[in-house]
Every structure is written in C-alpha cells, then in structure tokens.
Structure 1
C-alpha cells in the first residue's frame, strides 16, 4: 500500500473498522467504545479529505508544520486533530491552538505550557500521559513510578483535561507479548483512578497490534499504514 490513492481510502477504512469490530466481539466489548485515530502524518491533504468523505473524523499527526497545513486546508470540514508525536517546547503554542488532543505528554513543563497557551474560549485540551512501560532509555515517556506525581500536577492545570495514558511498546509479532505492556498500562490507569482520578482513555494499539490493545481495554487505536499506506 505504498501508492495509496484517494479511491482506496474508503475500502481501507472499512477493513480497519472490521478488524476493530471483530476484536471487540472477541473480548465482549462494543466496537463503538473504540475510537479510530487515522494517523495521517506525511500524507497529503487529498488522502485526508478522502478519509473524511468516508466518515472518518479523528486524525493523528506527528509533524507540526505538515499538520498545520492540513488543518488550515480542511478547517471547514472540522476534523478532530490529535497530536501524537513528541512535544518540544517551541511547538506548544501551535499545538495548544490547533489540536483537540495531545497524546504524548511526559513532562510537567510541556503540560504547563500547553495550558498557559491554550487560547481563551477553546475547550480544555485533552491530554494523555505517555508512559515508557518497557523502561527503554531510547523511548519517550515517563517511568511508571513517576506517573502518579505527574498526573496530579497535570490534573490541576486549568486549560487541560487529563484523559488517560498512552504508550508505544517494543515491537512484537506475538499476540501474548503484545498484550503484556498494554495490560501494564491499563493497570496503571486503574491505580490512578483508585487514587481519585477520573481517567477514561487508553491510547494504545497501531496497525500491527490493535487486536491485543483492544483486548486490554484500548479506547483509542492509532492506525496509519493500514489506512494510508506506508510512509514514502
């Protein structure tokens, strides 16, 4: 799917939605509990527009300048934009102004900037904290033992709404191995809720592992390749 065309998008979305529905049935969940975020990073406006034509509403972006061009071009159609990449301090103002969700917050400094820079009149920015469940030095995300303190700090910021947790685990093609880090994240969210938080979002699962993620309670799955094709 390296040369995906606009005419391919509806069928690709149908196939992904069928996978989600099948996975949900297998674990006795309702498919409408699971929100598909179509990862459109590096993809042209025409493909995003075709996805909107096919009823897709939520889109995930990693690269800010590329995303801002699409946001401007498609503003009249009112898609929901999710920033799913690492957030640097010099990007917070634009993310705060143009996105509904930020899925990869792992530092209080970044969260505070997003809150301070959220424009007046906009709904609070939905936040997921990224957790490094594998404790890999090369990966972004906060360590599990530091999570409660960060969650408490973010929950106090006035222009953010702390919704849940996100992770990108080490790749595996084994289903049981895929489930383990997602189960860890679910347990971390349950622990936060037991301490008084009201989190409702697990942003887990991509093209290769969405079934395992759904089995462990995913509410948002982030799928790019199976919708838009591989990055060129």
Structure 2
C-alpha cells in the first residue's frame, strides 16, 4: 500500500477502536528515520501531529516543513543538553522522566509561547534499558510540572516491554490506566494517556489510550 492507503486504513482502524472504547483518540505519526518528504505526504492528507525520537533529526524536518502548521511531539528520551531546543521548538514533550529537567524546560520555554504540553513517561515494566520513571515517582514529577508556569501537565506515556504474548502487554496497559485515572483525580486538566504503537494500538485504545504513536503502520519499515 502507498502512504495514502496506509493512512486511510490506519485512520479507519483508530476510529473504529475509539468508537468501541467510547472515547476520542489522537493519532500521532512517528517520523523516526523517515524523510521530511514522507511527513509532507501525510500532512497533505490531513495529518497534523508528528512525533520524533531525536532532537536534531526533528529540527531539520521542522525547518523543511515550516509553514505547514504541524504540531511537534518529542517522544524519545530527553538529555539535559537538549532541553533548551525541546522547550523552544516543540509543542509537546511526552518523555519527561526526572524532575531535574523541569526547571530547564520551564526556563527555556519562550514567554510568548503557549506552555509546553508535558506527559510523564512511566517505565511500567521496570525495564533496565528503558527510560521512564517508576510508578511511585509520578506524584513528585506531576507536582514539579504543575509548579512550573510555562509547562502544562497533560498526562502519562509508556512503552511496555515488547512481550510476544499480547496478554502481557495488555496487562501493562491496564496498569497504566489505573495510574492515569489516579493522576486525573489528583490534577485538573490531565486528559492524555499515550500508549500503543503499530502492532498493539487497538488493544491500547481498549484499555484507555487517548493518543497512539504509529510509525511503521503509516510509513512502512524504518529506513
């Protein structure tokens, strides 16, 4: 299938899963390793929200696609020395996982910009090789974000361990839903649970995901 057919099929599947779950779902197109031209094709089809894993790759695409009115999400691990660029050039950060980043993000967010929309990344399966905070640390991170005037807390993000048994991944989604509901009760304005990728997004939506991050389902295999 070409990109337009991929996009049509994916949008239909996301919409069907959202209807079944009874809540709205945002599709984030993940452009990791894809050229700006591939993102431009999806933008021409109506896609507006794009996620990138690497800051420098994202900034190059932002320059090439300037003027299209796209919404940029940083979804990869954030190093401290990249906080300035993320605060200045992205609309969303989905991968906040430690409090020491909060002050830098707040300081470098332009005063005339809307606040940076922030998701706390949770290492739900406690993988040593994966970014994300422990579930027990969500509260402290949330309080730090809420205290930063140029940041807005929107919810949680996770990347469960890629277990071949889908039931294991669904169990992780279910645990995330509990954490998300707890956070939403504690903080007004929390409305986004980012989980689910190309091979499991429908299960994630069934367990409460309001935003899914899809790459290969839209673009094909990574380059």
Aligned-partner SS, 2:16: helix
Q: After TM superposition, where is structure 1 displaced by more than 6 Å over at least 4 residues in a row? A: none
1:25 aligns with 2:19: yes
Give the one of 18, 27, 41 matched to 1:36: 27
1:49 aligns with 2:40: yes
With normalisation by structure 1, the TM-score equals: 0.92
Q: Which residue of 1 aligns with 2:70?
A: 79
Aligned-partner SS, 1:104: strand
Give the one of 210, 215, 218 matched to 1:219: 210
CA 23–172 in structure 1, closer or farther in 2 if over 3 Å, else same: farther
Aligned-partner SS, 1:78: coil
Q: Which residue of 2 aligns with 1:135?
A: 126
1:102 aligns with 2:62: no
Number of residue equivalences:
223
Q: Which residue of 2 aligns with 1:67?
A: 58
Task: Write the distance in 2 (CA, Å) between the matches of 1:209 and 1:111.
Answer: 31
Task: Write the distance in 2 (CA, Å) between the matches of 1:196 and 1:78.
Answer: 30
Structure 1 unaligned blocks of 5 or more: 2-7
Moved more, 79-88 or 17-26: 17-26
Equivalent pair of 1:9/1:54 in contact (CA under 8 Å): no
Shift of residue 13 of structure 1? Answer: 0.8
Task: Write the distance in 2 (CA, Å) between the matches of 1:194 and 1:56.
Answer: 31
Structure 2 unaligned blocks of 5 or more: none
Task: Write the distance in 2 (CA, Å) between the matches of 1:54 and 1:192.
Answer: 35
Task: Write the distance in 2 (CA, Å) between the matches of 1:180 and 1:88.
Answer: 30
Shift of residue 63 of structure 1? Answer: 1.2
Deviation readout 1:77-109 (Å, 9 max, x if unpaired): 110000000000111111111100000000111
Equivalent pair of 2:184/2:191 in contact (CA under 8 Å): no
Shift of residue 42 of structure 1? Answer: 1.3
